[in-house]
């Protein structure tokens, strides 16, 4: 009978998350599609490690944060007080954090859209 320990399963999940994000970003973000694959993977490794260090553990929350970082830039994401409050709320379930991060990203996109049309 096959047996896997938690570290092996976590590694599989980490690899799947990174590959899914990589493929999504390459398909839908022009700036990511122009990066060498190895460079994008390195950037994703850094973003995922940052997410885990900040207490984001679910794939959905990490994916939302990574999408924000890749579309708006790490400096914007790291320096936005509203987003950092969401991430810092340790008592908030991961699913709620993911939804709040997605909402934040949608609002930021709408703001950028308004300023881009002016």
The answer to whether 69 and 62 have CB atoms below 8 angstroms apart is no
Token pair of 14, please? 């980490």
User: Nearest 5°: CA angle at 102, between 98 and 105?
Assistant: 140
pLDDT computed for residue 51 by the predictor: 93
pLDDT digits (tens, 9 = 90+) for 72-103: 988 999 999 999 999 999 999 999 999 999 99
pLDDT computed for residue 5 by the predictor: 67
- Residue that has been written with the tokens 């939804």 in this structure: 99
Higher pLDDT, 115 or 72: 72
* Measured CA distances, 116 to 70, 103, 110 (Å): 19, 20, 10
pLDDT computed for residue 11 by the predictor: 65
pLDDT computed for residue 118 by the predictor: 47
Higher pLDDT, 53 or 13: 53
The average confidence (pLDDT) of the chain is: 88
Output the CA torsion 15→20→22→26 (10° steps): 160
Mean pLDDT for the stretch of residues 16-25: 92
The angle, 0 to 180 degrees and rounded to 10, between the axes of the packed helices 94-117 and 81-88 is 170
Instruction: Look at residue 118 and give its three-state secondary structure.
Output: coil
Report the candidate in 57, 109, 103 with the shortest Cα–Cα distance to residue 83.
Answer: 103
């Amino acid at each position: 009978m096959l047996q896997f320990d938690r570290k092996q399963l976590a590694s599989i999940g980490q690899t799947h998350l990174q590959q899914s994000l990589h493929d999504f970003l390459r398909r839908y973000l022009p700036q990511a599609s122009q990066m060498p694959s190895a460079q994008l993977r390195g950037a994703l490794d850094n973003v995922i490690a940052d997410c885990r260090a900040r207490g984001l553990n679910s794939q959905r929350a990490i994916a939302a944060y990574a999408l924000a970082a890749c579309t708006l830039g790490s400096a914007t994401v790291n320096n936005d007080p509203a987003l950092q409050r969401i991430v810092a709320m340790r008592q908030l379930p991961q699913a709620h954090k993911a939804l709040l991060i997605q909402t934040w990203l949608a609002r930021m996109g709408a703001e950028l859209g308004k300023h881009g049309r002016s």
